[in-house]
Structure 1
Amino acid sequence: MTTLDLPAQTAQAKQGEQRPSAGTRLKLPLAASLEHRRLQCYMMLMLVDTLMIGASMIGVAQAQYGAVPPSVLRQLGLLLPFYVIAALAFNAYSISALTSARFSRNRALVSLLTAFGMLIFVAFFAKISDQISRASTGASFVGCAVVLMLARTWIQPLIRKLCGPTAQNVLILDDGGLPVRIPHAWHIDTRQHRLVPNRNDPHMLDRLAMFMTNMDRVLVSCPPERHMEWAMVLKGANITGELIDQSVVAMGVLGARRVNDTGSLVVSAGPLGIRGRAAKRAMDLAIAGSAVLFLAPLLLSVALLVYLEDRGPVFFKQQRQGRNNRLFWIYKFRSMRVAQLDSAGARSASKDDDRITRIGRFIRRTSIDELPQLLNVLRGDMSIVGPRPHALGSLAGTKRFWEVDPRYNQRHSLKPGLTGLAQVRGFRGATDTEADLSGRLQADLEYLDGWTIWRDVQIMFATFTVLVHDRAF
């Protein structure tokens, strides 16, 4: 956790309207993540819903028949999955359901009605409708509805206690634009904290990322001439980013949001939801963990050969930019002489590069030098598949990568990968011209737009065909 001196009246407390006084120290991140708490509340709501529906139907059957007939249990077995499917479709498990008891009750009731409708539909086509009592079904629906409404009402204070009144962390960055005040949001004056949307400064992007950590939404209020700069920064921040623009209210722009009387344009959103990230992370851990165990003899042998050649360090460590524009240290087997290591990556390796050692030339050509990045995957800095992270000093011709194309930082909305779509398409090696960057950037952006778990699997298999290549210097 980072601590900063906070000037007077630069940040507003999350839970109230009191502003810190001069000398207050600001701790980063500003707030704890609410993502897992929301997920816990969704699971809790789902569990409570199913328990209430089950208890109601069994109670009604017990009251009517003095016992629970097998037909009621079969109906319950169909009704519960129908209800969960309908509830997911009607947003009964959503942020609005966490923050509004009325919305939560209404969506649960609609989902219950839909589930009973689906049950009757299936019974009709299965020709077992004669086994369903109209009186019992009607009484079960009323009982389930009453108990479900009461349960949703009673559980709301607990949800509010766990997730807060908005169930979201909202950050407002005031960069000299329209004054905006949203209850329960963090308000930061960028000028007093020396925060600027400088895409050419990785350290500034890292500093901005620290303020945005654990935020669900970030709104920037700035003059129109700085909209593009902030938009480009937010697009690479793996977060829902918005630019305050009062004209949105008048024009009714699609893809915009209205907060009270203030309009904002939605300019970015993380490419993966929580389920996608969970699936991708599970796959990363399974593959990287298994690979480290399976390849342990190879890793130890290469490490020994690297050390014996010149008695230098085994690993080469370099700072690169990852998801949310955060800097991290990437690990590779050292392939260059110690005295000629280029930690900034300003000079790309060439075919006859005199800096490369004998063992280094072999491990670079076979991509073995990249294997220590499995440790980065296990640490959570990287993924198996994703845009490859580039050295901060990398040049395309005479320009930094982010100077060639303003879309470059959008690559940082996902974790960087050991391999990616650009690599399997052959976009590897030195970037001697700006055109050398264009193809791989386009492939990376295509990967971001069309992510699926199956595409990751396809890229992994395709990677085996390009492990040995003539662009590895």
Structure 2
Amino acid sequence: MYRVDPQKAITDHATRQPVDQEQRLTPQAEAIIAAPVESSLSGTVITGVAQVAEAALLALLGYGIHAAYINPNSDAVYIPVILTTVLLANVVFNAVRLHRISAYRTLYSQLGRIIGAWTAVMVVLMVGVFLFKASDLISRFWLITWLLSGAGTLVIYRMLLRILVQRWTEQGRLKRRTAIVGGGNDAAILIQQIQAGASRDINLLGLFDDREGERSPDEVLGHKKLGRVSDLIEFARRTPVDLVIVSMPLSAEKRVLDMLTQLWVLPVDIRLSAHSSKLKFTEKAYSYVGELPVLDMADRPISDWNLVFKAVFDRAVALFALILLSPVMIITAIAIKLESKGPVLFRQKRHGFNNELIDIYKFRSMYTDRTDANASKLVTRDDPRVTRVGRFIRKTSIDELPQLFNVLKGELSVVGPRPHALHAKADNKLYYEAVEGYFARHRVKPGITGWAQINGWRGETDTIDKIMQRVNHDLYYIENWSILLDIYILVMTPIRLFTSKNAY
């Protein structure tokens, strides 16, 4: 997979368009943005849940037959056999591609293959029983009954699964909102392949191409050209885009690299259409969108099961932290109220995932008549706008604790790049003007704490070097994310609070 070097991208490329001033797009693009969008479902998560449910059904069925008809004292023999058989069945089902969304949609093909695969697994079990001379330990009645009832259960399960997947397909919830980069004849061939093998998996929004004239007409096979590649960045920030398919030959290296350097700031999967390459790779080199073979160029940083794991982790930690720290929050609220007039909480607009504007909550640390909602002036040492209580809660980051409610709402993560104020500046330059590729840090949800903060880059950002260091650390976190890294950052955060000297 191609990876953009964050350091090089920060030096070479910037998206200079201010995100709070919407870029003008074509009328066709604006119409797509204005249309309502149905929430989509992850095919990877669906197949994962389907596999677990199927394995559980087979295991429970096997054990149920054993419990009903066989001596229960033989659990020590049957349970390992059942679990091993179910694991083997899952491997075989995946080997014959039975756990794909496209397979779930079929009827006779799916049922025929699932019965054949299950029968093959049970034959292997029977041969194993014979070879290991375990026929005295394993009941033939149990084997035959599990084989037949398992086949019937799989048929019923797969038919119900097909009905569910077909319903989601008709609702468009399994389609990935897709944009094509490229135009002309290459794009026409790609669209034909999508229509032939991936029409139920792709919702094709339109095309983006930097070329003009005959090489890139305004419409290809009924699909409009929505703008240039740079317009795709603004388009994807204002309406969900899941996938970008590049219709360019690998020989057009400069065009491909320029496109990737522009689009790497977006939280989307980028794929290169295999039809545009004259090179023929091995089967394992390709991934598939429906039946369309593609080459992976870049992935959304956190997606599918990782997105589920992180969401569960965030909410569990936030809920536990709110319970544990509620006395601290109550005392802080009372102290703020006693020292100065005004609300206890302060709300501020900041950029969230993919530059979406969100309201984050903080304990008020400034005098009410001196608050700076846009953070146009950075807080400095002994800043007269900050109250005595405010200095303490800013130094200890207690002022950030109300953001745990943002985490429960799904707007923030516990760990991630810190959300910056809209008009925050370094050396009198807005952050996105000071740092090339700044918006790439918004490919994941922002967090209450992050990799930059535990490495000493919290507090005042009065120089360009300081904000560049923050962004570099944020990009490192995005490229190397794991739940273990989140846990490490979470554990180190309170430790670093006692050694930090930059927060005022």
Q: TM-score, normalised by structure 1?
A: 0.73
Change (3 A) 1:230 1:103: farther
Deviates more, 1:354-363 or 1:260-269: 260-269
Distance 2:81 2:291 in 1: 46
Identity of aligned residues (%): 28
* Secondary structure, aligned partner of 1:330: strand
Letter of the aligned partner of 2:87 in structure 1?
F
Report the equivalent of 1:164.
Answer: 169
Q: Which of 293, 302, 305 pairs up with 2:332? A: 302
Letter of the aligned partner of 2:183 in structure 1?
G
Q: Which of 298, 306, 309 pairs up with 1:276? A: 306
Report the equivalent of 2:205.
Answer: 187
- CA shift digits 1:76-118 (9 cap, x unpaired): 6435642465368646434344345546864785577458757
Whether the 8 Å contact between 1:98 and 1:159 is mirrored in structure 2 is no
Whether the 8 Å contact between 2:55 and 2:90 is mirrored in structure 1 is no
Q: Structure 1 residue 398: deviation in Å?
A: 5.2
Q: Structure 1 residue 373: deviation in Å?
A: 0.9
Distance 2:477 2:368 in 1: 36
Report the equivalent of 1:239.
Answer: 268
Q: Which of 24, 30, 37 pairs up with 1:30? A: 37
Whether the 8 Å contact between 2:273 and 2:293 is mirrored in structure 1 is yes
1:356 aligns with 2:386: yes
Unaligned residue ranges in structure 1 (runs of 5+): 1-6, 12-22
Change (3 A) 1:188 1:285: same
Task: After TM superposition, list the pairs within 5 Å mapping 1:313-332 onto structure 2.
Answer: 313-332=343-362
Change (3 A) 1:169 1:130: same
Q: Choose between structure 1 and 2 for higher RCO, CA contacts under 8 A separated by at least 6 residues.
A: 2
Distance 1:377 1:236 in 2: 23
Task: After TM superposition, list the pairs within 5 Å mapping 1:416-427 onto structure 2.
Answer: 416-427=446-457
Root-mean-square deviation over aligned CA pairs? 4.7
Whether the 8 Å contact between 2:246 and 2:271 is mirrored in structure 1 is yes
* Secondary structure, aligned partner of 1:464: helix
Q: Structure 1 residue 135: deviation in Å?
A: 9.2
* Secondary structure, aligned partner of 1:347: coil
Whether the 8 Å contact between 1:86 and 1:115 is mirrored in structure 2 is no
Task: After TM superposition, list the pairs within 5 Å mapping 1:365-384 onto structure 2.
Answer: 365-384=395-414
Change (3 A) 1:403 1:113: farther
Deviates more, 1:39-48 or 1:458-467: 39-48
Task: After TM superposition, list the pairs within 5 Å mapping 1:392-471 onto structure 2.
Answer: 392-397=422-427, 399-403=429-433, 406-468=436-498, 469-471=500-502
Report the equivalent of 1:17.
Answer: none
* Secondary structure, aligned partner of 1:173: strand
Report the equivalent of 2:19.
Answer: none
Change (3 A) 1:446 1:273: same
Deviates more, 1:405-414 or 1:127-136: 127-136
Distance 1:221 1:246 in 2: 8
* Secondary structure, aligned partner of 2:453: helix
Deviates more, 1:140-149 or 1:94-103: 140-149
Distance 1:437 1:218 in 2: 30
Distance 1:423 1:366 in 2: 12
- CA shift digits 1:183-205 (9 cap, x unpaired): 34232467989877669xxxx96
Report the equivalent of 1:217.
Answer: 243
Distance 2:130 2:453 in 1: 53
Q: Which of 158, 175, 179 pairs up with 1:173? A: 179
Distance 1:197 1:343 in 2: 34
Whether the 8 Å contact between 1:240 and 1:270 is mirrored in structure 2 is yes
Distance 1:407 1:105 in 2: 51
Q: Structure 1 residue 320: deviation in Å?
A: 1.9
Q: Which of 414, 417, 421 pairs up with 1:387? A: 417
- CA shift digits 1:145-189 (9 cap, x unpaired): 754674466346414423317973222336773445333423246
Q: Structure 1 residue 390: deviation in Å?
A: 1.8
- CA shift digits 1:203-231 (9 cap, x unpaired): x967633421xx54344679988866764
Task: After TM superposition, list the pairs within 5 Å mapping 1:252-267 onto structure 2.
Answer: 266-267=296-297
Q: Structure 1 residue 379: deviation in Å?
A: 0.9
Distance 2:267 2:449 in 1: 20
- CA shift digits 1:347-366 (9 cap, x unpaired): 33222433323222221111
Letter of the aligned partner of 2:38 in structure 1?
A
1:143 aligns with 2:148: yes
Whether the 8 Å contact between 1:242 and 1:268 is mirrored in structure 2 is yes
Change (3 A) 1:399 1:304: same
Whether the 8 Å contact between 2:412 and 2:445 is mirrored in structure 1 is yes
Change (3 A) 1:470 1:52: closer
Whether the 8 Å contact between 1:171 and 1:219 is mirrored in structure 2 is no
Letter of the aligned partner of 1:281 in structure 2?
A
Distance 1:399 1:8 in 2: 30
Letter of the aligned partner of 1:369 in structure 2?
D
Change (3 A) 1:259 1:372: closer
Letter of the aligned partner of 1:172 in structure 2?
T
* Secondary structure, aligned partner of 1:131: coil
Q: Which of 208, 215, 225 pairs up with 2:236? A: 208
Report the equivalent of 2:221.
Answer: none
Q: TM-score, normalised by structure 2?
A: 0.69
- CA shift digits 1:354-394 (9 cap, x unpaired): 33232222211111111111111111111111222222333
Deviates more, 1:221-230 or 1:266-275: 221-230
* Secondary structure, aligned partner of 1:362: helix
